[in-house]
Amino acid sequence: MRFWAYRTLLLTTWTAMVIKPQVMAQLDPQKLAAIEEFLTETMACRNIPGLQIALVTSEEVLMAKGYGLSNIEKKTPMTERTVTSIQSISKGMLSTLVAAVLSDLNQSGLDFDTRLQAIMGEDFNTSDPLVTEYASLKDFLAMKSGCNFPEVLVESFQVMSPDEFTRNLKHYKCQWRFRTGMHYSTTGYLVVSKALEKLTGKSFDQLMKEYIFNPLGMTDSDIVSKATEIYGFSHAYTTGSDDISDVEVTPAFISQSGYMMGGAGVAFNANDMANQSGHMMGGAGVASNANDMAKYLQMHLNNGKNQDGQQIIDESNLRITKENWNVYKYKPYSLPRPTFPEGLVSGAYGFGWIKGYQKGYAMLHHPGNYAYYRTHVVIWPDLDLALFLHTNGRQFIDQIDATFANFIYILDVLNGDVPWLNTTTRCSFPEPWRTAVKALPESIPTDLDPALSLEKYVGYYGQPGYGCFQVTLINAVLEMTYGKTGEFELHATGNGHEFWRKGKGLQAWRWSKQDWYFAESPYPRTCEFFVDSGNVTGASCKFDFNYEGYEKINGEKPEIEALCSEYTTGIPSESRTPLPTPELLLPTWAIVVITVAVGLVVAAIFGCIIYRGRKMKRKEAKDTLPDSNAYLYGRQNTELSDAADDKNIVPMDYETAVGEINPGATVERHLDAMNDLNESTGDTDSAGGPRSTTVRVEYQPDANPSQL
Ligand SMILES: *[C@@H]1O[C@H](CO)[C@@H](O)[C@H](O)[C@H]1NC(C)=O
Ligand SMILES: *[C@@H]1O[C@H](CO)[C@@H](O)[C@H](O)[C@H]1NC(C)=O
Ligand SMILES: *[C@@H]1O[C@H](CO)[C@@H](O)[C@H](O)[C@H]1NC(C)=O
Ligand SMILES: *[C@@H]1O[C@H](CO)[C@@H](O)[C@H](O)[C@H]1NC(C)=O
Ligand SMILES: *[C@@H]1O[C@H](CO)[C@@H](O)[C@H](O)[C@H]1NC(C)=O
């Protein structure tokens, strides 16, 4: 322990001394003034409490600043060192970390195509035999595995730890065909983080420190559960006015106030974020600030070198993380002509980087969002320019719009162009070009009755891999609790056994304007109970993930608890009961010797078998699977791809391939293959996922991922 502490201390001190102070450049004062005015004006008109910005070239830091407040109650200013949760910007950091670790292991034959199972062994087991057998680091980093495992279990509900989650992977349905299209998945990045831990024997935070934070002198950055509050932590706000603490959240209120309500004046703080996102590791778990992000972005502009010119990340591996590995098609992240005058297109996905063009300039960018936190990074490599932006409230859509407005304006100004956005449109953007918000529903009826009396729904509901939720009756209202923070009220919709699921406490934002922004139907969050001869037997809830097919658990509390624990940990309760120790026939030393000898022989035989097996499987895979470099499976989208190698796109007979690996596997769910393909060209709703088509609605788990 001691030793490591000293080592870390030494390393930190060493890097702090070696890294040169950043060069603060003189940005043309007129341009700086214009940008600052624009930023502060958009904060004012969109009611944003605090904003942080880093603007850099490969050599110079043009801006690293904070504006407004990071904590309204304490009147703490937002500075360039205020730490915040950067959410999904962690993803690009994880892929950078993978690049670094791989180049460190460059004699080992490992690369981005290394299969997860080769690294994690039996710890990697999914519901799709093809994914289990063949999925590589690349498949998960490019979000083409076809699995977007549920997020809320490890993140906001904290039902389980990352290890328990990984153990439970096989229970989560992979909804799409392997290597087809893009299906946003934060938990896929969690799995890659676990794989890195397994590969190196080091923890994720240790790895981040060793490979990224220390060599870059990012002294304020850490995983969010260890985030320093020395320089303050950006709190994220939600309510309309600072003193409103208890307002009924109705669409009418939302319409009038124009605010996304999170109920009870919720202000997310460091502790909440540690709890909400810390578990997501490389998916969303990093905390940083403008000062540190400046260093990180400069490293990217310098192709892996730090400010001392030291190559800290292997250049060729780093380049791989930014190639076009998938199609990116979510509409809110494109502002195409002729609707928008300037043209901003996001068309491809790297590893944690959205790739596109703004005014014809190549750009790599990524949002990082959770509840009321917004962050965004943009790199314009050909302009030698990069930007980090963070805002901390209060309204979801306004913050996103403000972010886009800000970086559109900044590029115009730095480029010396006549700015597209003027004093009016900086506040109205995306209007008049696109309607800002969908029409909201009129009201939520609260006086409807379900088909059975309320107490009939009370009880425990569980599912292997998902754990249990409990329904109780409090003051004539049904309440649902799930994990540590999942608190909901259930209100009858008047349709049989269907209920609206309204978030409370830290989940209040799950019943908010954001829902309507993303949702297809006015009331997307519902739970439906199943009833047999007047008895409730199970439940399914829509949204967030496929909580389908929960069974009602009857019995005594200890039994229920044991079963729920098994569902959560992935460890059957019987394997936890200690077995009686058998009497020894031989002395202990003899048993040890024999065991070791037998173990070695078995391991050697097994090693041979596995090695040969893998070799064979790999060979086989060439004929049956789409090449992992293919932009998209099949015939489509090659024209967009500079990564795809046409001759390598081998049409896959999926059913045959599944059959070869696992003859018993069911392939029925893949019969709607045409939907899969249509979806990749079809209308999409949000950053979250495809607009639902007929069959897909059934198991669309993640129309609204909380982390983008
Ligand atoms: C790979 O390893 C060799 C020797 O271990 C080293 O000299 C070389 O620089 C490494 N290459 C990269 C790209 O890291
Ligand atoms: C995956 O899990 C299933 C069910 O528990 C098991 O039968 C199978 O052997 C596992 N596969 C691997 C590769 O561990
Ligand atoms: C997380 O939540 C628990 C309560 O569930 C709280 O005690 C703890 O302080 C929180 N923060 C962290 C960093 O775990
Ligand atoms: C701002 O731009 C909009 C849209 O291009 C235009 O209609 C409006 O007249 C402009 N306003 C000002 C004050 O320039
Ligand atoms: C419904 O529940 C009652 C009371 O627990 C039980 O006696 C009855 O057999 C149940 N009916 C069915 C169809 O399971």
Q: What CATH number does residue 497 fall under?
A: 2.40.128.50
Which pLDDT value is given to residue 357?
Answer: 96
Residue 639 has pLDDT above 50, yes or no: no
Q: Return the bridge partners of 460, or none.
A: 470, 553
460 lies in the same domain as 568? yes
Ligand 3 atom with the smallest distance to the CA of 274 is: 13
Confirm if 356 and 344 have CB atoms less than 8 A apart.
yes
Which ligand is nearest the CA of 340, by number? 4
Residue 71 has pLDDT above 50, yes or no: yes
Query: The domain containing residue 177 runs over which residues?
Result: 96-200
Which contiguous run of DSSP H or E holds residue 72?
A: none
Which pLDDT value is given to residue 626?
Answer: 53
Residue 635 has pLDDT above 90, yes or no: no
Which ligand is nearest the CA of 225, by number? 3
Angstrom CA distances, 405 to 67, 180, 679, stand at: 17, 33, 29
Which pLDDT value is given to residue 75?
Answer: 85
493 lies in the same domain as 546? yes
Ligand 4 atom with the smallest distance to the CA of 341 is: 5
Choosing from 200, 224, 241, the residue where a domain stops is 200
Which pLDDT value is given to residue 694?
Answer: 22
Q: What is the dihedral of CA 236, 238, 244, 245, to 10 degrees?
A: -80
Between the ranges 125-129, 156-160, 172-176, 484-488, where is the mean pLDDT highest?
125-129
CA distance 706 to 368: 10
Q: Ligand 3 centre and the CA of 275: distance in Å?
A: 6
566 lies in the same domain as 633? no
683 vs 228, which has greater pLDDT?
A: 228
Tokens of 283: 């998916």
Q: Ligand 1 centre and the CA of 106: distance in Å?
A: 6
The answer to whether residue 135 is domain-embedded is: yes
Between the ranges 166-175, 392-401, 521-530, where is the mean pLDDT highest?
166-175
Q: In a mutational test of the pocket of ligand 1, which residue from 101, 104, 106 has the highest number of ligand atoms less than 8 Å from its CB?
A: 106
Q: Is residue 637 very low, low, confident or very high in pLDDT (cuts 50, 70, 90)?
A: very low
Can you say whether the dihedral through the CA atoms of 161, 165, 167, 168 is positive or negative? positive
Which pLDDT value is given to residue 628?
Answer: 56
Q: Averaged over 339-346, what is the pLDDT?
A: 90
Q: Is residue 24 very low, low, confident or very high in pLDDT (cuts 50, 70, 90)?
A: low
Between the ranges 184-198, 511-525, 599-613, 623-637, where is the mean pLDDT highest?
184-198
Which pLDDT value is given to residue 543?
Answer: 59
Q: Ligand 4 centre and the CA of 429: distance in Å?
A: 11
Which ligand is nearest the CA of 552, by number? 5
Q: Ligand 3 centre and the CA of 574: distance in Å?
A: 30
**Angle (CA) 602 606 611, round 5°:** 155
468 lies in the same domain as 564? yes
State whether the beta carbon of 484 lies less than 6 angstroms from ligand 3: yes
CA distance 530 to 540: 8
State whether the beta carbon of 125 lies less than 6 angstroms from ligand 2: yes
Confirm if 175 and 145 have CB atoms less than 8 A apart.
no
Going by their DSSP bridges, the two strands 547-553 and 459-463 should be labelled as antiparallel
Quickly list DSSP for 270-310: HHHHHHHHGGGGGGT-EEE-HHHHHHHHHHHHTTTB-TTS-
Which pLDDT value is given to residue 631?
Answer: 45
Which pLDDT value is given to residue 54?
Answer: 98
The answer to whether residue 386 is domain-embedded is: no
559 lies in the same domain as 470? yes
Which contiguous run of DSSP H or E holds residue 147?
A: none
Q: Ligand 2 centre and the CA of 133: distance in Å?
A: 11
Q: Ligand 3 centre and the CA of 624: distance in Å?
A: 48
Q: What is the dihedral of CA 261, 707, 466, 202, to 10 degrees?
A: -130
Which pLDDT value is given to residue 360?
Answer: 94
Tokens of 483: 């994990």
Ligand 1 atom with the smallest distance to the CA of 104 is: 14
177 lies in the same domain as 130? yes
463 lies in the same domain as 558? yes
The answer to whether residue 264 is domain-embedded is: no
State whether the beta carbon of 535 lies less than 6 angstroms from ligand 5: yes
Q: In a mutational test of the pocket of ligand 4, which residue from 420, 422, 426 has the highest number of ligand atoms less than 8 Å from its CB?
A: 422
Q: How far apart are the first and last CA of the chain?
A: 37
CA distance 316 to 303: 9
144 lies in the same domain as 196? yes
Choosing from 164, 181, 200, the residue where a domain stops is 200
470 lies in the same domain as 529? yes
276 vs 390, which has greater pLDDT?
A: 390
Domain count, the chain: 3
Using DSSP, state whether 618 is helix, strand or coil. helix
Q: Is residue 545 very low, low, confident or very high in pLDDT (cuts 50, 70, 90)?
A: low
Confirm if 244 and 81 have CB atoms less than 8 A apart.
no
Q: State the chain's mean pLDDT as an integer.
A: 77
Q: Ligand 2 centre and the CA of 125: distance in Å?
A: 6
Between the ranges 154-163, 456-465, 515-524, where is the mean pLDDT highest?
456-465
Closest CA to 617 of 167, 106, 111, 117: 117
Q: In a mutational test of the pocket of ligand 3, which residue from 271, 277, 506 has the highest number of ligand atoms less than 8 Å from its CB?
A: 271
The answer to whether residue 507 is domain-embedded is: yes
Nearest CA to ligand 5 atom 3: 535
Confirm if 65 and 53 have CB atoms less than 8 A apart.
yes
Ligand 1 atom with the smallest distance to the CA of 317 is: 13
The answer to whether residue 520 is domain-embedded is: yes
112 lies in the same domain as 163? yes
Nearest CA to ligand 4 atom 8: 424
Which pLDDT value is given to residue 73?
Answer: 75
Which pLDDT value is given to residue 652?
Answer: 43
The answer to whether residue 478 is domain-embedded is: yes
CA distance 285 to 91: 9
CA distance 470 to 365: 41
Which pLDDT value is given to residue 688?
Answer: 31
Nearest CA to ligand 5 atom 12: 533
Which pLDDT value is given to residue 442?
Answer: 45
Q: Is residue 277 very low, low, confident or very high in pLDDT (cuts 50, 70, 90)?
A: confident
Q: Ligand 3 centre and the CA of 487: distance in Å?
A: 16
Closest CA to 294 of 32, 53, 54: 54
527 lies in the same domain as 635? no
Provide the strand spans (E) within 433-542: 459-463, 467-474, 477-482, 486-492, 498-503, 526-532, 535-541
Residue 247 has pLDDT above 80, yes or no: no
State whether the beta carbon of 132 lies less than 6 angstroms from ligand 2: yes
Which pLDDT value is given to residue 701?
Answer: 31
Ligand 3 atom with the smallest distance to the CA of 484 is: 5
> By percentage, how much of the chain surpasses pLDDT 70?
69
Ligand 2 atom with the smallest distance to the CA of 132 is: 13
Q: Ligand 3 centre and the CA of 271: distance in Å?
A: 6
Ligand 4 atom with the smallest distance to the CA of 432 is: 4
Quickly list DSSP for 556-594: -HHHHHHHHHHHHHS--GGGGSPPPPPPPSS-HHHHHHH
Q: Ligand 4 centre and the CA of 564: distance in Å?
A: 59
Q: What is the pLDDT of residues 369-389, one digit of tens each?
A: 887 789 999 999 999 999 999
Residue 443 has pLDDT above 80, yes or no: no
Q: Is residue 82 very low, low, confident or very high in pLDDT (cuts 50, 70, 90)?
A: very high
Residue 474 has pLDDT above 60, yes or no: yes
State whether the beta carbon of 274 lies less than 6 angstroms from ligand 3: yes
The answer to whether residue 127 is domain-embedded is: yes
Amino acid letter, residue 672: D
135 lies in the same domain as 189? yes
Q: In a mutational test of the pocket of ligand 2, which residue from 130, 170, 172, 666 has the highest number of ligand atoms less than 8 Å from its CB?
A: 170
The answer to whether residue 641 is domain-embedded is: yes
CA distance 135 to 145: 7
Nearest CA to ligand 3 atom 9: 271
Choosing from 543, 572, 601, the residue where a domain stops is 572
Confidence (pTM): 0.79
Which pLDDT value is given to residue 571?
Answer: 93
